[in-house]
Amino acid sequence: MSETETLNAYKAQLEAYLKNLPMAGAPDRLREAMRYSLLNGGKRLRGCLLLAACELGGGDAEAALPFAAALEMIHAYSLIHDDLPAMDNDTLRRGKPTNHVVFGEALAILAGDALLTHAVEIMAASNHPRAFPALGEIIRAAGVGGMLAGQTLDVTNEGAEPDIHLVEEIHRGKTAALLTAPLTAGLILAGAEGARVEAGRKYGFHLGMAFQIMDDLLDLEGDPALMGKTLGKDQAEGKLTWPACVGIEQAKRDAEKHIGQAVEALALFGEKAAFLQALALSTLHRVQ
């Protein structure tokens, strides 16, 4: 299979799993708001990374589906909350009106909360023998020292002087944490330990940093139709971004350097890492 075919196969498997999630007990309107943001055409990068990492470690990707789905649910929650008027106040996401525009603020907050808690519920109910350590990796990445730390530093430093160390902390938390957890959790589910899990952690960190640097660049130079959201907001709102600190050309070089380090991190897996290495390299050409 080519890399694109492998990625599409992971994506199809994950999409079907997400579509069929029963969300037992949810009132219709809550389920509708959850499904609106969960099933609206994301790239599924985090979930596919987890399935690929699990197979890299020699594990069964199908048994890892609840964890891949959980990552996409946590990602969807973070986007719903990030788009709220109290945060980025965005009206467009993945080319469609944001959750609060369609369902109102109260339901958007609840849908985000519900996606986060339901993610934990499906991981806990998975009966996977290594569910607990994998769940720990994922929730820690989303939590106070991970995504929430990055988001807090992001919103509390709007308008601050460009500071590359601070931006690195923001990017590490806001983006790299949720791109690292698929690697460590996927490998742990496969039964990997020690240096192999740490290699995955290193890959995820560097991929995540490059992904967010590219996101900063796309906010300046991207195509709004392809990105499916309003661009140019970082500068308008005085956000701390990588290119604001080092300039556009250096930011591109830094993204390339991080991807080189991500590729190198997986060298100990040999040929088996080819898919994840190619996926990292493709980040440098992302248009959406």
| Minimum CB–partner distance for residue 258 and ligand GRG (Å) | 14
| Minimum CB–partner distance for residue 264 and ligand GRG (Å) | 23
CA distance 253 to 11: 30
The nearer residue to ligand GRG, 181 or 190, going by C-beta atoms, is 181
The nearer residue to ligand GRG, 147 or 280, going by C-beta atoms, is 147
The nearer residue to ligand GRG, 134 or 142, going by C-beta atoms, is 142
> CB under 8 Å to 9, separation ≥6 — which residues?
1
CB 94, CB 43: distance < 8 Å: no
| Minimum CB–partner distance for residue 247 and ligand GRG (Å) | 20
Nearest to 129 by CA among 60, 196, 179: 60
Residues at the site binding ligand GRG, with contacts judged by CB under 6 A: 42-43, 45, 75, 78-79, 81-82, 87, 94, 147-148, 151, 174-175, 212, 215
Check the CA dihedral 199-188-4-77 and report its sign. Answer: negative
| Minimum CB–partner distance for residue 266 and ligand GRG (Å) | 20
The nearer residue to ligand GRG, 77 or 269, going by C-beta atoms, is 77
| Minimum CB–partner distance for residue 271 and ligand GRG (Å) | 27
| Residue 201 structure tokens | 């952690």
3-state secondary structure of 102: helix
| Minimum CB–partner distance for residue 134 and ligand GRG (Å) | 20
HEC profile of 210-242: HHHHHHHHHHHHCCHHHHCCCCCHHHHCCCCCH
| 168-37-134-124 Cα dihedral, nearest 10 degrees | 150
| Minimum CB–partner distance for residue 254 and ligand GRG (Å) | 16
The nearer residue to ligand GRG, 13 or 151, going by C-beta atoms, is 151
The nearer residue to ligand GRG, 175 or 180, going by C-beta atoms, is 175
CB 242, CB 251: distance < 8 Å: yes
Task: List, in sequence order, every residue forming a beta bridge with 92; answer none if it has no partner.
Answer: 97
The nearer residue to ligand GRG, 144 or 268, going by C-beta atoms, is 144
> CB under 8 Å to 196, separation ≥6 — which residues?
57, 187, 268, 269
Closest residue to ligand GRG using C-beta atoms: 42
Place of tokens 């160390």: 165
CB 47, CB 68: distance < 8 Å: yes
